[in-house]
């Protein structure tokens, strides 16, 4: 072996995937889980390496959600759900908790226009008496993929071509032609709601299934929904061109000006709940983040309201340095085995340690507003004043002790180590139902946008055929109408 021959260069790429160390990767589609539905195992070295490498691709701008706007306010409980959760900030009606919220676009860079078709981030940091709780979601209730091992690839496909630095439809259509579960997300993103009018008139969703745990340890599956009291408004394609052309920061300005004028944005927090014992009774997997829970079967229940009544004091300190992680929870709220959720628990904090440093949680905007104590010492940009002599645990010279025990999930885990797809994929049913719920004009606009994507000259006939098949399985008329635009016959 010549140690100088295989220096880092794409000309020495192997025909198969490997780790950075050169070890073969036999499955680059599924995380290593306990059974086909999870949870994800940290021993999946390739998954951790892939996510850690991805999290460090940009310095210092966020890889995703780079363009954002923040505001501060409070959350107030309006309805008692103490029978569902022992979370202190949800303990009783009337309880208020300070919050900071960051709205964002996902794919494009920090200086990009806000009137583009792109999912919007909707991230809320609750500064509770038991530490911070980060509810990190989007304006769309589902996601493109169900396994975080595909997240770096998905973002690469949506980002500009690394050669031309142009976002190109053929790359998007190519990647997602391998991801049939994305159809449901496409019916949201390429629907009229794909370009929110601004941040005030936008819904928010936790996307994932969480768990609520009460004092007795009883677990309940939950999904979180934010509903704007001023209603939902969106921009059609022609309107977005005019708005974005006049002001590429229109949504940031609208949020700032509205709060400055005393027109405080407000959202109602609603939840859907499910008994975990019932999770196998449906035609879809309730922990699959590419699926909604139909509201006729899981009605929305009110919890509280959020009011944003203060603009941030400094954009860099309270927007660029504001950092969220779905792994940041409080007692009474816990993770589900949603594969995408499980990988985000690691990835978000990891990317912030890269962007902002290992002590990013000391920054005022990220630090908890309650007393806290640990032995996490030193490191880059550590500015905490300390005068202790004991920085280890346990010690007879330091009376610090464990906190009182808090309830955590007690669900039993069983299964073999495997990289597998969940049993109930059901990739097309909900997408078809959503399309059929559109009025005829809305259906026409949706089809027009999909046809525009598939009309990219570099989209091959093979890729188009795959998409015709997907849309046919969602809705036969939808598939036929899209195929007819290309003088092709759609087939299942």
- Residue 233: both structure tokens together: 């408004």
Report DSSP state, residue 360. Answer: G
Hunting for tokens 């008329």 — which residue is that?
Answer: 477
**Cα–chain-centroid distance for residue 361?**
21
Task: Locate all alpha helices (DSSP H) within 105-211, ordered by sequence.
Answer: 151-158, 169-176, 183-189
Helices 151-158 and 45-55, packing angle to 10 deg: 30
Say if residue 348 carries a ligand binding annotation: yes
Alpha-carbon distance of 193 to 191, in angstroms, equals 5
- Residue 129: both structure tokens together: 């008496």
Which residue, 262, 266, 193, is CA-closest to 226? 266
**Cα–chain-centroid distance for residue 486?**
34
H or E element in which residue 434 lies: helix 429-437
Hunting for tokens 């996601």 — which residue is that?
Answer: 143
Whether 382 is catalytic: no
Alpha-carbon distance of 160 to 397, in angstroms, equals 57
Hunting for tokens 């976002």 — which residue is that?
Answer: 167
Which residues have a Cβ under 8 Å from the Cβ of 67 and sit 6 or more positions away? Answer: 104, 105, 108, 109, 110, 111, 112, 114
Alpha-carbon distance of 376 to 361, in angstroms, equals 11
Burial class (CB in 10 A: 0-12, 13-18, 19+), 440: exposed
Which residues have a Cβ under 8 Å from the Cβ of 158 and sit 6 or more positions away? Answer: 106, 107, 167, 172
Whether 426 is catalytic: no
Q: Which of 30, 108, 132, 138 is catalytic?
A: 138
Cα dist. 117→191, 238, 430 in Å?
Answer: 10, 12, 22
- Torsion sign, CA atoms 43, 47, 50, 52: negative
Q: Which of 30, 46, 65, 108 is catalytic?
A: 65
Given the DSSP bridges, would you call strands 131-138 and 120-128 parallel, antiparallel or unpaired? Answer: antiparallel
Asked whether 112 and 159 are in contact (CB, 8 A), the reply is no
* DSSP codes joined into one string, 251-298: HHHHHHHHHHTT---EEEEEEEEE-GGGTTSSSS-TT-TT----TTTS
- Residue 373: both structure tokens together: 């104590």
Please enumerate, by residue number, every residue annotated as part of a binding site for heme.
348
By annotation, the residues acting in catalysis are 65, 138
């Amino acid at each position: 072996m010549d140690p100088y021959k295989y220096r880092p260069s794409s000309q020495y790429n192997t025909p198969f995937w490997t780790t950075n160390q050169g070890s073969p990767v036999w499955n680059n589609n599924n995380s290593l889980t306990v059974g086909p539905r999870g949870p994800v195992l940290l021993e999946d070295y390739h998954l951790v390496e892939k996510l850690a490498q991805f999290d460090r691709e940009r310095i210092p701008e966020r890889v995703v959600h780079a363009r954002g706007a923040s505001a501060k306010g409070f959350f107030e409980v309006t309805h008692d759900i103490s029978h569902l959760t022992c979370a202190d900030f949800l303990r009783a009606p009337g309880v208020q908790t300070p919050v900071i919220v960051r709205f964002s676009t996902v794919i494009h860079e920090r200086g990009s226009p806000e009137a583009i078709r792109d999912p919007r981030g909707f991230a809320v940091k609750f500064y509770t008496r038991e530490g911070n709780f980060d509810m990190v979601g989007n304006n769309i209730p589902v996601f493109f993929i169900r396994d975080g091992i595909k997240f770096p690839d998905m973002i690469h496909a949506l980002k500009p071509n690394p050669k031309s630095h142009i976002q190109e439809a053929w790359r998007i259509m190519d990647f997602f032609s391998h991801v049939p579960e994305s159809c449901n997300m496409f019916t949201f993103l390429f629907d009229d709601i794909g370009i929110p009018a601004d941040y005030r008139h936008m819904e928010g969703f936790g996307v994932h299934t969480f768990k609520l745990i009460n004092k007795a340890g009883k677990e309940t599956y939950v999904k979180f929904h934010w509903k704007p009291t001023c209603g939902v408004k969106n921009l059609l394609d022609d309107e977005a061109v005019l708005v974005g052309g006049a002001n590429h920061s229109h949504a940031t300005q609208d949020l700032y000006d509205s709060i400055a004028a005393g027109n405080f944005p407000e959202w109602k927090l609603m939840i859907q709940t499910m008994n975990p014992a019932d999770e196998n009774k449906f035609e879809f997997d309730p922990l699959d983040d590419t699926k909604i829970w139909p509201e006729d079967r899981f009605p929305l229940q009110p919890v509280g309201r959020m009011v944003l009544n203060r603009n941030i004091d400094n954009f860099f300190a309270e927007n660029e340095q504001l950092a969220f992680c779905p792994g940041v929870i409080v007692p009474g709220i816990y993770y589900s085995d949603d594969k995408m959720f499980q990988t985000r628990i690691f990835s978000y904090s990891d990317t912030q340690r890269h962007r902002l440093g290992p002590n990013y949680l000391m920054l005022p905007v990220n630090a908890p507003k309650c007393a806290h104590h640990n032995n996490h010492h030193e490191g880059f940009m550590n500015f905490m004043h300390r005068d202790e002599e004991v920085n280890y645990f346990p010690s007879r010279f330091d009376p610090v002790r464990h906190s009182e025990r808090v309830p955590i999930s007690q669900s039993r885990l069983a299964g073999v180590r495997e990289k597998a797809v969940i049993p109930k994929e059901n990739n097309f049913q909900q997408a078809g139902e959503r399309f059929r719920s559109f009025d005829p004009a809305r259906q026409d606009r949706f089809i027009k946008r999909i046809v525009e994507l598939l009309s990219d000259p570099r989209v091959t006939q093979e890729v188009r055929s795959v998409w015709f098949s997907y849309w046919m399985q969602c809705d036969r008329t939808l598939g036929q109408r899209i195929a007819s635009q290309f003088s092709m016959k759609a087939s299942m």
